[in-house]
Amino acid sequence: MGGENENLRQAVARMTLENISLREDMEAERKFRDKIASAGHSTFSIDEFFGTIFEEVLNLMNSSRGSIALMSQNPLDEKNQFYLVAFNGVNDRSVGTRLISFDEGEKIRQALSFGQSLTINDIRRGHYTSSMIRPFYLGDKPVGAICISNKKDGKDFNSQDESKLGNCVAEIEGQIKNINAKREGFFNFLTCVEARDFYTAVHSVRVGALARIIADELRMNVREQRIIEEYGCLHDLGKLAIPDAILLKEGKLDEKEYEWMKEHPARGVHMLGRSSDTNTTDIGIGIVGFHHERWDGTGYPKRISGEEIPYEARIIAVADAFDAMNSNRTYRQRLEAQQIQRILSENKETQFDRHLSQLFLDVLPSIVYTQINDGEAGSLFHSPFCGQTMRILPGEFVATTRHRSEKFKGYFPCPDCLGD
C-alpha cells in the first residue's frame, strides 16, 4: 500500500512539474508574440525586423547558437544566393558582409529550395551538434530560414521544440507580411509623389541605391546595407505633407516657404510613427529626420554637427546632394559632372563628412545605373551622368559598380557614355 501511495505521489509531482513547464512555455510564447509584434509595427525593413528579434528567437528556443538567412532580393544578384541577416556562434565574423551560394550552405539550400524543415543531430568538426532549420514564407514563396543549434540544457531538439519553432515561424511570417504591406504602401507613396513631382519619386530610389553602394564600400554587412537603402528611399517621406505650391514652385522659395520646406524631416519621422526626441540612434529616424543636417552645424532641423549627426544620415546627405545636383529640377537644369564633383569636394567638413564625401568621389567613376531587364533582349549600363538615366522609372532602376556589372548576362555598356 505504501508503495502505491509513493508511486501516486511521484506521478502527481511529475504532472505538477509538467503543468508548470507548460504554463511557463505558454507565457514565454505570449511574451515572444508581443515583442515581435512591437518590432514589426515599428519598422519598414524586414532586415531591421530580423536584427531586432533574433535574440528573442534564441531565448524562446533556449538556444545558444543560431542564424537567420534571407534570400538576396537584388535583381542583379545571381540566383540561389542568401545572406545572414543575424547570427550568433558563427566562427567567420565576416560572413555577414557577403552573399553565400547554395553550394556553400547545403542545409540552407535544402530548406529554401524544397521548403523542408530539418532536424539535424550529428557530429561536426569533432563536436556533437543538435540543430533545427525551418524556412519561412512570404505568401507561397520561401524567403529565408531560421537555424538554431545547441540547446542550453545540452539536450537534443525534440518534437516539442519543432512545434514551438513552428509557432514562432508562423508569428514571424505574419509580421513580415505586415512589413511587406507597409513597404508596398511606400511604393504607393512614391506613386503619389510622382504624380506631383516625378523628380522626387525617382530621386528617392536613386539616393537609396547610392547609399547602399557607399555602405558596401564601407564594408558594412549586407543587413546594414539593405536597411540604409530602404530608409534612404524614404528619406523625403515628409515631402508628401508639403503643399504643391511650395514643392513644385519653379522659382526660389521665399523665407516662409523655405521654413515650411524645412519641416519635411520632422514630418517624415512622424509618418514613420516615431519621435526624433526619443531615439536618435534609430536608423530610420537618423536617415529621415537628420539627412539635412550639415557637418558644420548649419543644417536643419536640429542644427547638430559633426559626429553628433547619425552616421547613416551622413551617408544619405552625400548621396542626396549628388543626385539633387545631377537631376533636372523645377527651378534649374542638372549641373555638369565636373561642377558636381567640385562642389562635393569643396564642401568637405562644411556640408559633408570628409571621409564619406571623399569615399563617394573615389567610387563615383565606377558607379553604373541600369534598367531592370524584364525579358527584353538586353539592357544598358550607364554612367550616372548619362542623360538616358533620367528616363528610368522608380520600379525599374538599379545601381551597381562596374566590376560587378561585368558578370551580368544580357546587360551591356552604353556606347554613348561607357564606350563599346
In this predicted structure, the answer to whether residue 327 has a pLDDT above a threshold of 70 is yes
Whole-number pLDDT of residue 194: 59
Q: At what angle do helices 46-60 and 159-196 cross, to 10 degrees?
A: 160
In this predicted structure, the answer to whether residue 142 has a pLDDT above a threshold of 90 is no
CA 217 to chain centre: 16
Q: Which of 136, 151, 180 is the last residue of a domain?
A: 180
pLDDT tens per residue, range 209-265: 999 999 999 999 999 999 999 999 889 888 888 888 887 787 788 889 889 899 999
Whole-number pLDDT of residue 200: 61
Cell of 84: 545572414
Residue 409 inside a domain? The answer is no
Q: Please indicate, yes or no, whether the overall pTM of this predicted structure exceeds 0.85.
A: yes
pLDDT tens per residue, range 369-419: 998 866 555 688 999 999 888 888 878 889 999 888 777 777 888 988 986
- The contacts of residue 148 (CB under 8 Å, 6+ apart) are 57, 58, 61, 63, 65, 66, 131, 132, 157, 165
pLDDT tens per residue, range 14-56: 666 555 555 666 677 888 889 999 999 888 899 999 999 999 9
Q: Domain check: are 173 and 219 in the same one?
A: no
Residue 46 inside a domain? The answer is yes
Q: Domain check: are 259 and 167 in the same one?
A: no
Q: Domain check: are 99 and 226 in the same one?
A: no
- Top pLDDT among 332 and 109 is at 109
Q: Domain check: are 203 and 350 in the same one?
A: yes
Q: Which of 118, 121, 18 is nearest to 69 (CA)?
A: 118
pLDDT tens per residue, range 86-113: 998 777 777 788 888 887 888 888 888 8
Residue tagged 532549420 (cell numbers): 133
Given a contact cutoff of 8 angstroms between Cβ atoms, the answer to whether 228 and 283 are in contact is yes
Helices within 221-336 (DSSP H only): 222-232, 244-247, 255-261, 264-271, 283-290, 311-325
Whole-number pLDDT of residue 280: 57
- The contacts of residue 378 (CB under 8 Å, 6+ apart) are 410, 411, 412
Q: Domain check: are 10 and 72 in the same one?
A: yes
Whole-number pLDDT of residue 340: 96
How many other CB atoms sit within 10 Å of the CB of residue 181?
Answer: 10
Whole-number pLDDT of residue 95: 79
Mean pLDDT of 318-340: 89
Residue 323 inside a domain? The answer is yes
* Dihedral angle sign, alpha carbons of residues 67, 71, 73, 74: positive
Return the CATH number at 130. Answer: 3.30.450.40
Q: Domain check: are 203 and 170 in the same one?
A: no
Q: Which of 135, 127, 143 is nearest to 64 (CA)?
A: 127
- The contacts of residue 216 (CB under 8 Å, 6+ apart) are 225
Rounded-to-integer distance, Cα 394 and Cα 191, Å = 9
Mean pLDDT highest for which of 60-74, 85-99, 348-362, 398-412? 348-362
Whole-number pLDDT of residue 125: 55
- The amino acid present at 362, given as its one-letter code, is D
Q: Domain check: are 226 and 352 in the same one?
A: yes
Q: Domain check: are 9 and 135 in the same one?
A: yes
Q: Domain check: are 174 and 209 in the same one?
A: no
Between CA 149 and CA 155, with CA 154 as vertex, the angle to 5 degrees is 85
List strands edge to edge, sheet with 379-382.
397-401, 367-371, 379-382, 411-413
Q: Which of 344, 366, 388 is the last residue of a domain?
A: 366
Mean pLDDT highest for which of 68-82, 144-158, 221-235, 386-400? 221-235
Question: Confidence band (pLDDT; 50, 70, 90) for 306?
Answer: very high
Q: Which domain holds residue 278?
A: 197-366
Residue 223 inside a domain? The answer is yes
- Top pLDDT among 176 and 95 is at 176
Mean pLDDT of the chain: 85
Return the CATH number at 272. Answer: 1.10.3210.10
Rounded-to-integer distance, Cα 339 and Cα 385, Å = 12
Question: Confidence band (pLDDT; 50, 70, 90) for 308?
Answer: very high
Q: Domain check: are 203 and 173 in the same one?
A: no
